[in-house]
């Protein structure tokens, strides 16, 4: 995926009307190419993704558990949002004034068909994000979303729609773990009416970047009560299954309560890691983005994950890493 920097910023309407349709595949690659060419004269922003959304990938773990990687559209952020090495106090102004954008990144979700019930990690983004007023739960958050983030999500990209195509009825989902409450991780929640939701207590009901006005009516999530965990690195966790192969683990930093899901298969673990890092390179290098709630917590979390991955082979799966899907499919452990 390449950055599509151009010389002109299109109106939001241009972006909205065009992008959703392109991702829906209604006009196919020809439409995308046409739009890309038409936009090349103006815009320093990544106008539209120059790749088609990846189809869901399904794997079967060595212990026989079927899992799915499902992309729910694309997000692009300011470059300083993704990578920031400057002065701590200037973190947010640096993002706000940055004129550079990242390439379009996937918004990944994960489904574990566990014998004790379907577990979903993050519900991804909703196509409602394409409506200009959707992020207006409060004026400051609205301003941040409108100026610092871009999305491309169609109705067909939503998690529930894709799960239906995979014969995984959303109303049969038993557990949803939200790594954190930023919009691109918690869309579409009302499509899972029978699930127990686990959300980070420290981030709930509202914290930086959350849109609490869109939580489902009568939303009553659970908070993970972490206990000492019998595996390296994280120190604590909450077992989601009786046989202790799926855990919620604390991974704070990006948000104060950020949590991840650790699936420990026979000889290989999978960490569904939300926004712990933007890609595996940041895990290895210890780098991080401008959007972190707490730098020290972020660094400690990355060190914890490296410790785990150095002792036990672990596939590292952050939400926005363009290579997460391939590593998932190849069951490729992190090279820490
Ligand atoms: Zn986030």
**292 Cα–ligand 1 center, Å:** 9
CB–CB of 286/83 below 8 Å?
no
**266 Cα–ligand 1 center, Å:** 30
**255 Cα–ligand 1 center, Å:** 7
**186 Cα–ligand 1 center, Å:** 10
pLDDT of residue 224: 98
How does DSSP assign 267-315, residue by residue? S-EEEE-TTS-SSHHHHHHT---S--S-HHHHHHHHHHHHHHHHHS-EE
**122 Cα–ligand 1 center, Å:** 11
pLDDT of residue 46: 57
**311 Cα–ligand 1 center, Å:** 27
Three-class secondary structure of residue 118 per DSSP: strand
Distances (CA, A) of 254 to 138, 225, 259, 261, 315: 21, 20, 10, 15, 20
**72 Cα–ligand 1 center, Å:** 15
**275 Cα–ligand 1 center, Å:** 5
**37 Cα–ligand 1 center, Å:** 31
Report the run of H or E that residue 66 belongs to, with start and end: strand 66-77
In our burial notation (b when 16+ CB lie closer than 10 A, e otherwise), range 69-88 reads: bbbbbbbbbbbbbbebeeee
**211 Cα–ligand 1 center, Å:** 12
Nearest C-alpha neighbor of 99 from the set 49, 43, 179, 34: 43
Omega prior to 273 cis, within 30 of 0: no
Q: What is the pLDDT of residues 226-260, one digit of tens each?
A: 999 999 999 999 999 999 999 999 999 999 999 99
**30 Cα–ligand 1 center, Å:** 32
Question: Domain ranges in the chain?
Answer: 1-44, 66-330
pLDDT of residue 191: 98
**Bridge-based pairing state of the strands 173-177 and 117-121:** parallel
Q: What is the pLDDT of residues 303-334, one digit of tens each?
A: 999 999 999 999 999 999 999 999 999 999 99
Which pTM value belongs to this model?
A: 0.85
pLDDT of residue 23: 37
User: Apex CA 98: angle with CA 97 and CA 101, to 5°?
Assistant: 145
pLDDT of residue 94: 74
- Mean pLDDT of all residues belonging to the chain: 86
In this prediction, residues 184-208 reach a mean pLDDT of: 97
State the CATH class of domain 66-330: alpha beta
Report the run of H or E that residue 316 belongs to, with start and end: strand 314-317
**114 Cα–ligand 1 center, Å:** 26
Looking at per-residue pLDDT, the higher value among 216 and 37 belongs to 216
**59 Cα–ligand 1 center, Å:** 26
Q: How many residues does the chain have?
A: 336
């Amino acid at each position: 995926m390449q950055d599509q920097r151009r010389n002109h910023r299109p109106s939001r309407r241009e972006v909205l009307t065009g992008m959703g349709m392109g991702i829906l595949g209604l006009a196919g690659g020809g439409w995308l190419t046409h739009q890309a060419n038409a936009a090349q004269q103006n815009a320093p922003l990544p106008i539209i993704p120059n790749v088609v959304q990846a189809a869901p990938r399904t794997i079967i773990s060595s212990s026989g558990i079927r899992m799915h990687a499902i992309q729910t559209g694309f997000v692009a952020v300011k470059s300083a949002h993704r990578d920031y090495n400057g002065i701590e106090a200037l973190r947010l102004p640096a993002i706000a004034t940055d004129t550079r954008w990242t390439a379009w990144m996937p918004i990944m979700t994960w489904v574990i068909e566990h014998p004790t019930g379907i577990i979903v990690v993050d519900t991804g983004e909703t196509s409602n994000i394409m409506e200009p007023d959707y992020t207006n739960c409060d004026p400051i958050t609205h301003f941040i979303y409108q100026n610092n983030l871009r999305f491309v999500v169609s109705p067909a990209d939503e998690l529930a729609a894709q799960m239906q195509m995979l014969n995984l009825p959303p109303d049969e989902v038993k557990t949803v773990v939200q790594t954190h409450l930023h919009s691109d991780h918690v869309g579409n929640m009302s499509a899972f009416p029978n699930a127990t939701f686990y959300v980070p207590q420290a981030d709930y009901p509202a914290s930086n970047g959350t849109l609490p006005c869109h939580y489902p009516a009568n939303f009553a999530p659970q908070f993970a009560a972490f206990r000492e965990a019998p595996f390296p690195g994280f120190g604590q966790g909450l077992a989601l299954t009786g046989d202790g192969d799926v855990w919620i683990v604390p991974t704070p930093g990006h948000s104060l309560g950020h949590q991840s899901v650790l699936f420990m298969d026979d000889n290989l673990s999978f960490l569904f890691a939300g926004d712990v890092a933007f890609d595996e390179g940041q895990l290895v290098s210890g780098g991080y983005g401008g959007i972190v709630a707490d730098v020290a917590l972020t660094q400690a979390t990355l060190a914890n994950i490296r410790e785990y991955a150095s002792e036990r082979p672990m596939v590292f799966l952050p939400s926005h890493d363009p290579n997460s899907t391939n590593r998932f499919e190849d069951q490729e452990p992190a090279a820490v």
